[in-house]
Amino acid sequence: MRLHHVIPKSTFLPIFFTLSSRTPNMPKVESLCTMTNFCAHITPTVRENASTKTPITTNPPASAYIHLPFCRKRCHYCDFPIVALGSSSSQTDDDPRIQHYVELLCREINATKSEFQTNQPLETVFFGGGTPSLVPPRLVSLILDVLRSKFGLAKDAEISIEMDPGTFDAKKMEDLMKLDVNRVSLGVQAFQEELLKACGRAHGVDEVYEAIEIIKSCGPKNWSMDLISSLPHQTASMWEESLRLTIEAQPTHVSVYDLQVEEDTKFGILYKPGEFPLPSDTDSAGFYRMASRALAEGGYSHYEISSYCKSSFECKHNSTYWKNNPFYGFGLGAASYLGGLRFSRPRKLKEYTNYVQNLEKGLLDCRGNNDVDVKDMAMDVVMLSLRTSSGLDLQSFGKVYDGRLVHELCRAYQPYIKSGHVVCLDEQRRALTVDECNGLLLRKEDNFTRLRHIRLSDPDGFLLSNELISLAFRVLSP
């Protein structure tokens, strides 16, 4: 990507750039990540030498992702870094494996360098997994204490935890509430016994209703329900039922994930996407449309490709990702984004343990030094923002990157604006007509005041988001 002398006058999203000239042949951020990932003994000197990028200053991170990898068993679609405890373990309170892991995790948090001058307390914390609800509340409390003392925790911070039906009772829910956990993400996935069984979930439909009851009686007001569409043998009527029951349960937030068949999972071995017993692409696209329509009618707004919420109940933590803001990541396989560097921790417990030890010895630092390949950054911004209903702010983007690039991007999108896959919005976020868009693009208006945002349409554009985003990548990185 060609860079022009751009000195941003205004903030572009949350990132402030100070761009100077760029050295050619810069190593990519990604390769750095991989490097650190593989050799935990990497020395700071090497890292410094490798980085010759444009310095940027970023906001200090205000979000932390905590990975709690324990599950009773592995679901058939899952390729996350998890630790399966064995199906019998519903009693996990004194499982030494959990205890040891949490201690290790706390050591990681403590060993993390924080030189951010501003005293930015954490605004969001997300316990993901795995099945975090298998972790005893006293250990969750331990983690929160370490986070609080290390980074500070804002009074009204969003603290989310993923919970699976059948892994918690009212008591556990209440205990978590006492720790200021104020958002629950409930992994329901489906409302049909046969589907739950087919995807290897460790719970049945009864536990689902039970869990919903517990949350509604003593859980937080802000809770989300996770569903998976396009499961094997799933029919349109099953999906319709799941959506209806979801809306009836009245969560403030719904996540709908279209099943990804990953290699090296049981599903990956058994099934091929688009082939029986998985729904065809056409059916699967139909499920996506059904969700979009049903949830809209149920009062949910589709604010991201796979996320829906009642007004003002967007997941703040996830919004960090989509806005390309920095965040901490702790625990097995967790990804962090600090100082412009994306870094994924080891996915195996043994390597992760070594990693923590090296971190404590000061041999490692998973922060970038804010030298960032601007093209990489632009691609991330486009990829992430186009996942959301807010879309891409062309004006800010053009100021930080290159106005001509924004024009090129719009031109590449023109056929898709015409076909309705891409929508242009004005400064009041009103949709522009195709003719208005074409007219504005013809005039080569440089400051993008009237043609202010582009977003992918719901559901057509979202459904083909990979196509559309990779098209944008071609413009940004020919």
Partner 1 sequence: MGFLRKTSQNLNPKCFHLWRTSSFLRASIVNSKLSPYRFALTQSFCSPSRQNLKEAGIDLTQYPPERIRNFSIIAHVDHGKSTLADRLLELTGTIKRGHGQPQYLDKLQVERERGITVKAQTATMFHKCNLVGDNTSEQPPFLINLIDTPGHVDFSYEVSRSLAACQGALLVVDAAQGVQAQTVANFYLAFESNLTIIPVINKIDQPTADPDRVKAQLKSMFDLEPTHALLTSAKTGQGLEQVLPAIIERIPPPPGKSTSPLRMLLLDSYYDEYKGVICHVAVVDGVLRKGDKISSAATGQAYEVLDVGIMHPELTSTGILLTGQVGYVVSGMRSTKEARIGDTLHQSKTAVEPLPGFKPVKHMVFSGLFPADGSDFDALNHAIERLTCNDASVSVTKETSTALGLGFRCGFLGLLHMDVFHQRLEQEYGAHVISTVPTVPYIFEYSDGSKAHVQNPAALPSNPKKRVIASWEPTVLATIIIPSEYVGAVITLCSERRGQQLEYSFIDSQRAFMKYRLPLREVVVDFYNELKSITSGYASFDYEDSEYQEADLVKLDILLNGQPVDAMATIVHNLKAQRVGRELVDKLKKFIDRQMFEITIQAAIGSKIIARETISAMRKNVLAKCYGGDVTRKRKLLEKQKEGKKRMKRVGSVDIPQEAFNEILKVS
| Interaction site with partner 1 (CB under 8 A) | 30, 33, 65, 67, 80, 128, 256-260, 281-282, 284-285, 288, 305-306, 318, 320-322, 327, 329, 333-337, 342, 344, 379-380, 383-384, 387, 415-416, 419, 421, 462-467, 469-471, 473-474, 477-478
149: number of Cβ within 10 Å = 11
Nearer to partner 1, 18 or 419 (CB): 419
User: Using alpha carbons only, what angle is made at residue 455 by residues 452 and 460, rounded to the nearest 5 degrees?
Assistant: 150
Minimum CB distance to partner 1, residue 30 (Å) = 6
DSSP 219: S
Minimum CB distance to partner 1, residue 232 (Å) = 16
Minimum CB distance to partner 1, residue 21 (Å) = 25
Angle between helices 349-360 and 96-111 (to 10 degrees): 40
Nearer to partner 1, 72 or 387 (CB): 387
Minimum CB distance to partner 1, residue 324 (Å) = 8
Phi, psi of 17 (to 5 degrees): -110, 140
Minimum CB distance to partner 1, residue 467 (Å) = 5
DSSP 185: E
Instruction: List Cβ neighbours of 76 (8 Å cut-off, separation of 6 or more).
Output: 198, 199, 200, 265, 266, 267, 270
Nearer to partner 1, 105 or 259 (CB): 259
Minimum CB distance to partner 1, residue 306 (Å) = 5
Nearer to partner 1, 65 or 70 (CB): 65
3 state SS of 59: coil
Nearer to partner 1, 173 or 377 (CB): 377
Instruction: Give all strands (DSSP E) within 169-300, no chain letters.
Output: 183-189, 223-229, 253-258
Nearer to partner 1, 336 or 370 (CB): 336
Alpha-carbon distance of 254 to 251, in angstroms, equals 7
Pick from 227, 217, 188, 215: nearest CA to 204: 188
Nearer to partner 1, 142 or 422 (CB): 422
Nearer to partner 1, 77 or 397 (CB): 77
Tokens of 192: 């049909």
Nearer to partner 1, 165 or 333 (CB): 333
User: Using alpha carbons only, what angle is made at residue 26 by residues 24 and 32, rounded to the nearest 5 degrees?
Assistant: 175
Minimum CB distance to partner 1, residue 125 (Å) = 13
Contact 32, 341 (CB under 8 A): yes
DSSP string, 101-134: HHHHHHHHHHHS----SS---EEEEEEEES-GGG
Nearer to partner 1, 116 or 473 (CB): 473
Minimum CB distance to partner 1, residue 434 (Å) = 15
Instruction: List Cβ neighbours of 441 (8 Å cut-off, separation of 6 or more).
Output: 407, 410, 411, 414, 451
3 state SS of 151: helix
Minimum CB distance to partner 1, residue 423 (Å) = 15
Which is it for strands 335-338 and 341-344: parallel, antiparallel or unpaired?
Answer: antiparallel
Minimum CB distance to partner 1, residue 459 (Å) = 9
Alpha-carbon distance of 367 to 33, in angstroms, equals 10
Tokens of 148: 């609080």
Minimum CB distance to partner 1, residue 473 (Å) = 4
Nearer to partner 1, 29 or 176 (CB): 29
Instruction: List Cβ neighbours of 159 (8 Å cut-off, separation of 6 or more).
Output: 124, 125, 127, 144, 179, 180, 181, 182, 183
